Structure 1
């Protein structure tokens, strides 16, 4: 089945549910997002969590999940559009079956943005579009200047995304490597983790680089090989 991705920023192809490292505390949330993407779950969902907790991964995974089931989906990282005209940007977005808006908290407090989001909510209500929002803060803690928007946001089903512990980040790194078909021993994983920036986006980028180089040179991921590729 071909994917139907509507207008917006195309979600990264690699960000899907099957390569999201899901700890027990986040299992309910992930299951709910899968149901929503397949048009069988809740229509209004807001996910909040700290930076690096995986919010953006899950929103883009939801887009892929929806598209793989024949539904149209759009993804907008609002952080990249703070200087855009929100009315023009969001016009017609309610035509998607699933609309994912990332970094909601970045535009809250801006009157023009809040008004446009409020009107988008009303249009989505009429069209039946499912809305998936992600924010650093829960709906009740967002400092909305438009009371009507705040009340709408508080009507969403709110889920907290639990950030990974240090040990779980290491496990996530090894999980990602397995998904890429790479054999990453724990001692090499620990070496990478402690030498590189410990945010997962950077670590995953390093893994992609090592994957390409190991295939090109037909080498396994040993410490000497990692050092030679990364110049450490």
Structure 2
């Protein structure tokens, strides 16, 4: 899951970025509405964490403008504006959730998971695919009843495939979702993650469509 953070406080922005990366998210952090606009032109983010007190264009104005233009990316507002009128205005402007600073990292991550599940049309807390069981909240996976140990990027890749069960995902699309701009990645990193998923879960869990990309595979269920 790739998240855009729009926060002008350097200490908070840095803390959120580092904390969410440790939880396995791909993060891009910017400090102004203009930078956030530019980032959204080239990356399809899964969710946005948006401060309202931004320099230049206010976050509330930015959010309303995004919604008027048809941009439907889930937005979690994270702000010090705790008046009920501000909360109502934020939700009416198009926010999917509204949090008051300070907030724990675990709660923010939970809110992000909730809005992205709803956006993907998969609100269930447990996802199944044949004999595969996956819990997005904890990123726990089990195959035929046995736990599967996954790295953060392997879990993100599996989650991405499960969220798009009938779609062929291009290599560029997957890389965009798994890595932020500031991450150093090996050229064959994606192929390594796919190899590990096939080894740990099932050889057919990921299908390769040459020249097109990858898709969730059809796997046999236990008799």
- Structure with higher RCO (Cα < 8 A, 6+ apart): 1
Determine if the TM-score, normalized by the shorter chain, exceeds 0.5: no
- Structure number with higher helix proportion: 1
The TM-score, its normalising length taken from structure 1, stands at 0.27
The TM-score, its normalising length taken from structure 2, stands at 0.28
**Structure number with larger C-alpha Rg:** 1
- Structure number with higher strand proportion: 2
